[in-house]
Structure formats: structure tokens, C-alpha cells
Homo-oligomer: A and B are copies of this chain.
Amino acid sequence: MSSDHRFEVQAQSLGFPLSSPIKIGGNYTPALRDGDLIYVSGQIPRIADSIAVVGAAGAEASFEQACFAAQISTLRALALVKQICGSLEAVLLVPRMSVFIRSALTFTQHSEVADAASDLLSAVLGPCSAHSRTSVGVLQLPKGATVELDFIFKVSAQRNSL
């Protein structure tokens, strides 16, 4: 089973629509390729026109909702990489994942929320999901979202055939 197929399976099980375009809210590029690196802009858990999870983790948003939000943000990043490369089989490595979690003052399970994103990367990309990671707890995020994730993906120079 290819990483593209595994991506579809994960997206369907999380209710993430594969057909809707990846909307962004600002004057920038959602994912920028420079040579064999793709810099993915900060992704909040937006599904079509609405933000799936808002509020501080540990207060308005539960731990489980924060994990779901991290998964949706990761699916968006993967969808953008697939759009650029044609196939997720092009991914070789994920040099950096940064996880910003809007946190209640007492919330300290940032690594555990980030694991939801890491586990999803691993389920889709297999051994090519190797990544470094930084997770921090912030006061606020755009549109009041619960999480925001950005990434650097390393992809093969040759486009993979589909």
C-alpha cells in the first residue's frame, strides 16, 4: 500500500475531506518548494471554511480535541506536499515539525498532543516519517485555533510517477 493510499485511509477515518481545496488566511504561500525541501506554512485545523477545534487545550478544548486538531493540521500539510509533488511517495524525510499548542496555564501535555501528529506522519509515511520536533505552549493562535503546526519536508528531486 502506497503512502498516498495510507493518506486517504487516514483522512477518511478522521473525516477530512480530500476534495476540498486547502484554504489559507493571508498573503503568503501555503507550501514553498526550494530544491528538495518543502517549507509548509503554519497549519491550523481548518476543514473547508471552519476551524475544527478552537480554544485553549486543557480549558475549552480537551486533550482529545487537541490531538484531533494536531491530526487535521498534519493532514493539511500532507495534502499540500501531495499537491506539489504529485505523490507522497516523494517524501524522504521530515527534517522539522514545529507544534504550537494554545494552552491553559496548567496544561503541560504538549509532547503528548504532538505525538498524535507524529503517529499520523508515521502511519502515512512509514520510515520516511523520521522527523525532529519542537512543541511549545502558546497564549493564542490565529482564529483562536487550538494548535498550529509547520513543517519542513525533504522530497526526492524526481517526481514520482503516480
Contacts and interface: CB of A to CB of B under 8 A. Distances in A.
Interface in A113-162: 114-115, 118-119, 122, 130-144, 148, 150, 154
Contact of A105 (B27, B29, B41, B139): B139
A96 to B, nearest CB: 5
Interface in A71-119: 93, 95-98, 100, 102-103, 105-112, 114-115, 118-119
A34 interface: yes
Number of copies: 3
A95 B32 contact: yes
Contacts of A150: 132, 134
A37 B95 contact: yes
A26 B114 contact: yes
A31 interface: yes
A83 to B, nearest CB: 14
Nearest to A150: B134
Contacts of A107: 140
A43 B142 CA distance: 20
Contacts of A97: 28
Given A25-B111, A27-B118, 17 more contacts: A26-B111, A26-B112, A28-B132, A29-B132, A29-B133, A31-B132, A41-B132, A41-B133, A42-B135, A98-B134, A106-B140, A108-B141, A108-B142, A136-B141, A136-B148, A137-B141, A139-B139
